[in-house]
Chain A
Amino acid sequence: MKEFKYTIKDEMGIHARPAGLFVKEAAKFPCAVTITKEGKEVDAKRIFGVMSLGVKCGQEITLKTDGDQEEEACAALSKFLEENL
């Protein structure tokens, strides 16, 4: 399992569109991908799940990838977070 912690910098937080793009990106990998905020964990391949976390600017999330291609998934998705959020 791989983990990556990230603090959201986008002033809007994880709003609908980046959530959608993130989900699309996560869906490219076979492994399980989750995001956790303050103890609540959701499936990062589901847009409503990601949005339901209501992640705001300045909040920290933990990205976890587990299974096939977990390394690649973690690298690609952390990069996505850094570039977009």
Chain B
Amino acid sequence: MVIEGKSVFSGVAIGKLSIFNKKDNTVKRNTIQDVEAETKRFEDAREVAKTQLAGIYEKAVKEVGEVNAQVFEVHQMMLDDLDYVESITNMIESQKVNAEFAVATTGDNFSDMFASMDDDYMRGRAADVKDISNRVISILQGNSSDADMADEPVILLADDLAPSETVQLDKSKVLSFVTRHGSTNSHTAILARTMNIPALIGVDYPEDANGKVGIVDGFEGKIIIDPDEETLKIYQEKKKQEDDKKRLLQELKGQDNVTLDGKRINLYANIGGVGDVASVLANDAGGIGLFRSEFLYLESDTYPTEEAQFSAYRKVAENMAGKKVIIRTLDIGADKQVDYFELDKEDNPALGYRAIRICLTRPEIFKTQLRAILRASYYGNISIMFPMIISVSEVKKIKEILAEVKAELDAEGIPYKKDIEIGVMIETPAAVMISEELGKEVDFFSIGTNDLTQYTLAIDRQNPKLDDFYDSHHPALLKMLQMIVDNGHKGGAWVGICGELGADTTLTETFLKMGFDELSVSPSMILRVRDKIRSIDTTK
């Protein structure tokens, strides 16, 4: 039997199906005599619940990271909400009912309020209210809130899972989450994603599925109950491939990027938007080596405001919690066009009015971005990187503008990271040739290998006819890379690569021997490159 649902995380799970039974929190209405004692029972239970949540929060921070754990902080705040608390104590007092009943009724009322809102996110919060109320009730009834779990790992089927339930589950016993309700925004979905196990929602499974064998296909968004042998075989093969990938991930997480002979290199991630940060953290990148800021301009109908930019940069910086975040300033033009910039049509856009050339001739746009980046730098470890540099005078001009913006912020009393690092992209042959001079002006270089290759080989990357001529390992390019590293180091700048070549594991050893300090690759390549680094001995 095949039942369709919606996938919230891909992957394959094969195992016994187990329907998750919630603790029975059936509440009876009783009349009480001593209002004061009953109110105290509630207050005590509320305190215990808050202490438990503080503990769960700590556990969740370790398991799924601070951002995803924040829900438990919110739960603690909800338990402090005066409307909620007063509703309960008023019921105990005026209706002389037991605390369990007052909590259950109030919880239902508040959860109904959220369930009836016209917003998916808020509707999802109904589960939060139920969750905190059930916790208090369990404590009042003297139950532990831990779920009973089977002895062997299972595919967990449930109506819905409260966030605290998913965190308290013994993860080693869960192969997949499958729920009837829940949304792609639900905490369960987010937790499943960070736990890296397949999960489906909207699956109306039959009650007699309990104990049967099942396959969860998180790629296609379906569950197969009681599969035939052939299907089982296909999925076992699929799962094996997935497992190999996952094992690599698990083994390499938390490991250093160090060669067999002890050479270290920083491994950062390239991102194109705020939403990519989750995969940066999931893949254990040491920082963000290239934060393309274009998305702010491409997604907007007009110039993005300082506030909009500030909020995006700040979010990324905060989520990265002190790890380096290198923001590249506007790189519009060439293959990335935005209508409201009203750029003229050019015969040779790759050699045209783009990137830093726009910024230096339209300083109002540039300054808005620099202000936003500087303000955000107060909230994390931000560096700024400038694209398409061809001369030292450009860098000097940039530094002047940056100094002006800093002076404005100082005058307004707005805080920012005073010693913010600045760097340039090395992606033109001119920049390579003057890299010794450039190295004295900036803190770091990052090589954009895609553009550098096309400008060096005089080959348009967009023209498929030239594919046979395009050689990303061309000796001219490799010589340039060595030159850039040596010159950067001479001037006191660290040197990295943020182009596609950085993830080319056939060159990782070459890069290490050349003396690169950093490689910045797409998040999904981090662990693969780390694996390669750890297998290399540069003395051989």
Q: Which residues in A have some Cβ–Cβ distance to B below 8 Å?
A: 9-10, 12-13, 15-17, 20, 23-24, 43, 45-49, 51-52, 54, 56, 82
Give the interface segment out of B43-51, B70-78, B140-148, B191-199.
Answer: B70-78
Which chain A residues border B311 with CB–CB below 8 Å? 9-10
A17 and B72 alpha carbons, distance in the complex (Å): 10
Is A20 a contact partner of B121 (Cβ separation < 8 A)?
A: no
Which chain A residues border B84 with CB–CB below 8 Å? 48
Q: Does B128 contact A (CB under 8 A)?
A: yes
Is A9 a contact partner of B308 (Cβ separation < 8 A)?
A: yes
A24 and B80 alpha carbons, distance in the complex (Å): 10
Indicate which residue in A9, A16, A23, A56 contacts B119 across the interface (CB closer than 8 Å).
Answer: A56
- Cβ-closest chain B residue relative to A56: B119
Is A9 a contact partner of B118 (Cβ separation < 8 A)?
A: no
Interface of B is mostly: helix
Q: Does B417 contact A (CB under 8 A)?
A: no
A13 and B253 alpha carbons, distance in the complex (Å): 34
Indicate which residue in A9, A12, A20, A49 contacts B83 across the interface (CB closer than 8 Å).
Answer: A49
Is B77 a contact partner of A47 (Cβ separation < 8 A)?
A: yes
Q: Does B113 contact A (CB under 8 A)?
A: yes
Which chain B residues border A24 with CB–CB below 8 Å? 77
Is B74 a contact partner of A20 (Cβ separation < 8 A)?
A: yes
Given contacts A9-B308, A24-B77, contact A16 B71 (CB under 8 A): yes
The range of chain B's interface size is 20 to 34
Is A48 a contact partner of B78 (Cβ separation < 8 A)?
A: yes
Which chain A residues border B125 with CB–CB below 8 Å? 16, 51
Which chain A residues border B81 with CB–CB below 8 Å? 23, 46-49
A15 and B78 alpha carbons, distance in the complex (Å): 13
Is B118 a contact partner of A54 (Cβ separation < 8 A)?
A: yes
Is A54 a contact partner of B74 (Cβ separation < 8 A)?
A: no
Q: Mark B113-130, 1 if CB is under 8 A from A, else 0.
A: 110011101100100110
Is A20 a contact partner of B77 (Cβ separation < 8 A)?
A: yes
Is B113 a contact partner of A46 (Cβ separation < 8 A)?
A: no
Q: Mark B81-102, 1 if CB is under 8 A from A, else 0.
A: 1111000000000000000000
- Cβ-closest chain B residue relative to A20: B77
A17 and B66 alpha carbons, distance in the complex (Å): 12
Q: Can you offer 5 A-B residue contacts whose CB atoms are under 8 A?
A: A10-B311, A13-B121, A16-B71, A17-B73, A23-B77
Is B117 a contact partner of A16 (Cβ separation < 8 A)?
A: no
- What 5 pairs across the A-B complex have the smallest Cβ distances? A20-B77, A16-B74, A47-B81, A48-B81, A46-B83
Residue with the greatest number of chain A CB neighbours at <10 A, chosen from B84, B122, B128: B122
Is A48 a contact partner of B110 (Cβ separation < 8 A)?
A: yes
Is B122 a contact partner of A54 (Cβ separation < 8 A)?
A: yes
Q: Does B471 contact A (CB under 8 A)?
A: no
Given contacts A9-B308, A54-B118, A56-B119, contact A48 B73 (CB under 8 A): no
